[in-house]
């Protein structure tokens, strides 16, 4: 098992959470902002189509090989943290 973590700054355009894997893996994403929601989804995610994470909310998502996740906000400078757990073969 391999674990990595980081933070990404999200704005009003979809921003990739910069982690992926060639094997099945799990991604936990947390909205670090204490006032506004962030939205997660595919490359075309918007604030109207994404999964809403309220202030300081987190979600754990099972991911397939080479899956990618994106986030978007209604404002610039929105902080999102993540932890990726890659399963061993």
Distance CA 49, CA 4 (A): 28
Question: For the chain, which domains are there?
Answer: 2-86 (2.60.120.770)
What pLDDT digit, counting tens, does each position of 10-19 carry? 999 999 999 9
Q: Which pLDDT value is given to residue 89?
A: 64
What pLDDT digit, counting tens, does each position of 48-80 carry? 999 999 999 999 999 999 999 999 999 999 999
Q: Which pLDDT value is given to residue 56?
A: 94
What pLDDT digit, counting tens, does each position of 39-49 carry? 999 999 999 99
Q: Which pLDDT value is given to residue 37?
A: 97
- Residue 70 belongs to what H/E stretch? strand 70-73
**Cβ distance 8 to 84 under 8 Å?**
no
């Amino acid at each position: 098992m391999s674990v990595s973590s980081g933070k990404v700054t999200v704005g009003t355009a979809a921003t990739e959470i910069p982690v992926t894997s060639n094997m099945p893996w799990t991604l936990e994403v947390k909205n670090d902002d204490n006032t506004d929601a962030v939205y997660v989804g595919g490359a075309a995610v918007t604030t109207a189509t994404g999964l809403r994470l309220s202030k300081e909310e987190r979600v754990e998502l099972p991911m397939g090989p080479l899956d990618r996740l994106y986030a978007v906000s209604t404002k610039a400078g929105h902080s999102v943290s993540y932890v990726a757990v890659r399963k061993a073969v």
